[in-house]
Structure 1
């Protein structure tokens, strides 16, 4: 596959034979090769050109050691990969270099084939990073934010709606299953609006007990309740002139719904324990993973509040409804986590990618992201094979289809079934369910997200 930009390699070694030997041996693996005898020459060359890969000997006969040079390159050019050359007696030094950001190391005496393997890994890592950046640039040029990765028609329709709505101050409600990226869409609305220079404040209403919700939203005065040692501004106050994102808005109690409706209608509120009337012009974007109409029919969510919040609805498709985006997301997360965990670039085998593309993904993009991070850390080779993927990706899901092979899986399956049954018997009311199960609302929320029960 052709590379989008030239792949340049800089070889830094104080031994002329090693410099010239590596330059000849790597001629077929790089578009440009330069050599330097010391750190000063290397830094001068780096300042004049872009080298995605630098190969540097740990020991340099100059004022700066190879490790010091490596650390400087990594600090100043974080996207540059550095391979360190070390003798057998300094392996510990090379390991320390890896921890400090080196891409990999090779031992002396040099095996040219091993060096070429490392260079090819670095080049593949570079290719994926460039292609990912080009994708992000295309999204940015068309009005999306760089953190959203999608190419299929379903998400492109969402992007078009976001671009159309972002320039207005209309209240938006984002509908979608857990893990579909509702907060990313909320941030996109903010970043593409004239409010982008003001704060974006996000609050998860489902994770807050009712006793704290009022203080979180509207703030409180010093001494207004036990533990209120100072005045605290609430989310509406902090987000004034910006955007306030209310996640899981359907989890609010009846009283909190009344309070929120009043603020949306008047833009005025008072802190808990205070008398001063405050004003906020924060744009409100809310999100839910539940059927609001069902909640209205049950009498647990106010219809007038729904109409106030749902002026502009945005529907996010589940990952199983946008399977054409899965390969893009896989490459994106592989690049992200290989870089974060300082691992050589990995890829999925054809069979593994087929399994990923056809998996049910009840946890959507969040679940896929977690699976990729796990694979980056635990996979031994550069190619992730199908048998290394989590077993649940190929198992049928739903009542009556639980298959387990280990005690841990059996415990998780039982826990999921118990929580699902309790949620159903409590009408999906989280506080009631948490009380029934004898756990906190926060713990229940975490378990629901983990098991895809939203």
Structure 2
């Protein structure tokens, strides 16, 4: 499989223009796909992940070419978009550039000019690929693919990533919720020979069993009620790239058998389909549970574990890498001040001591969410100890006053625990309920009682 292939998508509601551009650009790209409307274009783009899209501004489908460009660039920022129109006004050109377009061409089209722009886009694509490879080679010791850490445990993780990224081995990433397992998987993809292909992540723990088979393997039109068209699954979408299966231990027994078959044969069938599909996908997985305990309990297949766990990577909790907390705090503050257009903030020494000593049940995700909240809500440039949530203060609830009954103290502790869990799980209620060990109905009741809706 070549990883420097250049894929182009032409989107225009005029068949003559589509076919003319496809023929005219045949020598400028490895693959030229065409689409007559935005819906068809998005389906092709989801499957092929094109490097260049040439789209007419006016499409007879309720969506303009500029709106289509925004959607595609949001899904895949490295894609170049050239917008074409018969109405070449300055305002349209400005709108296209603001949407992130690579260039703008007016109709009637000059095919030689279009070819020049495509060559320019291909050179830009090659330069991006070269720069990405260079960044991978020169990744600093304290940071790799946006993962930050100077402690010895994280240095060991970085070493493992560099060792196995360029291989095709399956990797299972172990660690508590919020430790950054998906970032590890993305780093493995970015540093691999598959980096120019798609990276598809799916959370198996948040997916109903009835939808899982279709989500992973796709389905044929009419295969079940509501299947109005053929739909590619995650394995098909990740072709030529990487598929990351988060919370893989949440799969049912049947789904485990289906996944094991794909890993062993590298083939699968869409739901309702007869034809075998080839799988050209590297599979990475992650779990926050003890797989050995699940195997002993009979809820996870041992043979599947061996297939997935060829290379295990253990991600330390934030409690096991407290020396990295100041580094992470500074990184998140810079990031969110820039994102939300806020003045740079500093952390008072006492505040940093509290942050470093806190238990962080939600790990880096909880710390990140808290830093964003502080950046957005605080006007002062200095973050003082009084600005930090009560649950972080070590003695905040240890000495109830005479005005506080035991019942009140218990309720306050329960409320603080729910708030911390919500933040750690990014306010995803099913994950929060699972982390707290209660039903979703109980969580809803408690949130309503404490005014947390």
1:281 aligns with 280
Deviations 1:219-239 (A, max 9, x none): 001111111111110111111
Cα deviation for residue 416 of structure 1 reads: 9.1
Q: For the Cα contact (< 8 Å) 2:145–2:187, is it kept in 1? A: no
| Cα distance in 2 between the residues matched to 1:392 and 1:311 | 40
Q: Which string of whole-angstrom CA distances, capped at 9 and with x for unpartnered residues, describes residues 82-101 of structure 1?
A: xxxxxxxxxxxxxxxxxxxx
Mark the structure with the bigger radius of gyration.
Answer: 1
Alignment check: 8 A CA contact 1:144 1:188 kept: no
Deviation string, structure 1 residues 60-90 (Cα, Å, up to 9, x no partner): xxxxxxxxxxxxxxx9xxxxxxxxxxxxxxx
What aligned pairs does 1:363-382 form with structure 2 within 5 A after superposition? Answer: 363-382=362-381
> Deviations for 1:108-141, whole angstroms, at most 9, x for unmatched residues?
xxxxxxxxxxxxxxxxxxxxxxxxxxxx999724
Q: In the comparison of the two structures, how many residue pairs are matched?
A: 296
Question: Could you say which residue in structure 1 is the equivalent of 2:293?
Answer: 294
Residue matched to 2:66:
none
Stretches of structure 1 that go unaligned for 5 or more consecutive residues are: 1-74, 76-135, 418-427, 447-454
- The aligned counterpart of 1:200 is 199
Q: Identify the residue that residue 17 of structure 1 maps to in structure 2.
A: none
Alpha-carbon distance between aligned partners in 1 of 2:408 and 2:266, rounded to the nearest angstrom: 53
In the alignment, which residue of structure 1 is the partner of 2:352?
Answer: 353
For the residues of structure 2 that align with 1:190 and 1:437, how far apart are their CA atoms? Answer: 34
Describe how 1:43-442 pairs up with structure 2 within 5 A: 140-141=139-140, 145-395=144-394, 410-411=414-415, 413=417, 437-438=440-441
- Distance (Å, rounded) in 2 between the aligned partners of 1:226 and 1:311: 39
The question of whether the paired residues in 2 share the 8 Å contact of 1:143 and 1:163 is answered with no
Shift in CA distance, 342/185, structure 1 to aligned 2, threshold 3 Å: same
Q: TM-score, normalised by structure 1?
A: 0.60
Deviation at 1:369, TM superposition (A): 0.3
Partner of 2:57: none
Alpha-carbon distance change, 406 to 307 in structure 1, aligned in 2, over 3 angstroms: closer
- How far the C-alpha of 1:215 sits from its partner, in A, is 0.3
- Shift of the 247–320 alpha-carbon distance from structure 1 to 2, 3 Å rule, reads same
Other structure's SS at 2:144 match: coil
Q: 1:169 to 1:144 in 2, by over 3 A?
A: farther
- For residues 192 and 301 of structure 2, what CA distance do their matches in structure 1 show? 29
How far apart, CA to CA, are the structure 1 residues paired with 2:136 and 2:302?
41
Q: 1:313 to 1:211 in 2, by over 3 A?
A: same
Change (3 A) 1:362 1:396: farther
Query: What is the TM-score with the length of structure 2 in the denominator?
Result: 0.60
Using a 3 Å threshold, how does the CA distance of structure 1 residues 387 and 139 change in structure 2: closer, same or farther? farther
Cα distance in 2 for residues equivalent to 1:146 and 1:175: 18
8 Å contact from structure 1 (residues 352, 386) kept in 2: yes
More off after superposition, 405-414 vs 313-322: 405-414
For 1:240-261, what per-residue CA distance to the aligned partner results, in whole angstroms no more than 9, with x for missing partners?
Answer: 2211000000000011001111
CA distance in 2, matches of 1:416, 1:337: 20
Distance in 2 of aligned mates of 1:414 and 1:311: 37
Q: Deviations over 1:41-77 (max 9, x none)?
A: xxxxxxxxxxxxxxxxxxxxxxxxxxxxxxxxxx9xx
CA–CA separation in structure 1 for the residues paired with 2:146 and 2:288: 21
**C-alpha displacement of 1:380:** 2.8
Aligned to 2:53: none
Aligned position for 1:39: none
* Residue aligned with 1:327, SS: helix
Give the superposition deviation at 1:151: 1.4
In 1, Cα distance between equivalents of 2:392 and 2:221: 51
Instruction: Classify the secondary structure of the residue corresponding to 1:233.
Output: coil
Cα distance in 2, alignment partners of residues 264 and 353 from structure 1: 46
Contact 2:205 2:247 in 1 (8 A): yes
Q: Aligned-pair distance for 1:403? A: 10
Contact 1:200 1:245 in 2 (8 A): yes
Contact 2:142 2:155 survives alignment (8 Å) = no
Structure 2: gaps spanning 5 or more residues: 1-97, 99-134, 401-405, 422-431, 448-453
- RMSD over aligned Cα atoms: 3.5
What CA distance in whole angstroms lies between the structure 1 residues aligned with 2:364 and 2:199? 22
CA distance in 2, matches of 1:149, 1:354: 20
Q: After superposition, give the CA deviation of every residue in 1:125-163 in whole Å (9 maximum; x if it has no partner).
A: xxxxxxxxxxx9997245963411111111011000100
Change (3 A) 1:338 1:429: closer
User: What is the SS of the residue equivalent to 1:284?
Assistant: strand
- CA separation of 1:222/1:162 partners in 2, compared to 1, >3 Å: closer, same or farther? same
